[in-house]
Amino acid sequence: MNKTVSANIGGMVFHIEEHAYEKLNKYLGNIRSHFTKSDGQDEIIQDIESRIAEIFQDRNKSKEVILEADIDHVISVMGKPEQLFGDDENAQAKSASSFLDDSTPKAYKRLYRDPEDRVIAGVCSGP
């Protein structure tokens, strides 16, 4: 027999197993710690909690208690905090370096002019 905790997530009340509650609380704490310096922190956290509540409702239509497996499912859907909030500068540098990398094949799209379908000096065409 496991203890359950009643928690209000996104404006909805859920009964959560104690170990699952601790895991969810840690997950939300990591997300909150990232947004401590952000403007609109409360709105962002509220949106995240609302999405978690939606996932719980969809997943637990037949049962009344949220289990640790349900928390794992939410984390896999939402992503771990490390994945959500990677270093933006490193991500931008990586995407810029991959864009400038000469080893990747470039796909060029060739443009052609239809000499039969011309409107203005053979440059513009249309119906």
How do residues 1-13 score in pLDDT, each as one tens digit?
A: 688 899 888 888 8
For residue 63 the two structure tokens come to 């049962």
| Residue 4 CA neighbour count, 13 Å, CB half | 11
For residue 121 the two structure tokens come to 């000096």
The answer to whether residue 65 scores a pLDDT higher than 70 is yes
What residues contact residue 117 under an 8 Å CB cut-off, 6+ apart? 125, 126
Q: How confident is the model at residue 107 (pLDDT cuts 50, 70, 90)?
A: low
87: left (phi over 0), alpha (psi -120 to 50) or beta: beta
Q: How confident is the model at residue 26 (pLDDT cuts 50, 70, 90)?
A: very high
**By C-alpha distance, which of 58, 77, 60 is closest to 15?**
60
Q: Secondary structure of the chain: what % helix, strand, coil (to 5)?
A: 55, 15, 35
Q: How confident is the model at residue 23 (pLDDT cuts 50, 70, 90)?
A: very high
CA atoms of 92 and 77, how far apart (whole Å) = 24
26 vs 83, residue with greater confidence: 26
pLDDT of 36: 79
Q: How confident is the model at residue 93 (pLDDT cuts 50, 70, 90)?
A: very low
pLDDT of 113: 67
pLDDT of 106: 60
CA atoms of 53 and 110, how far apart (whole Å) = 49
Degrees, nearest 5: CA angle 99-104-105? 115
Q: What is the mean pLDDT of residues 33-38?
A: 79
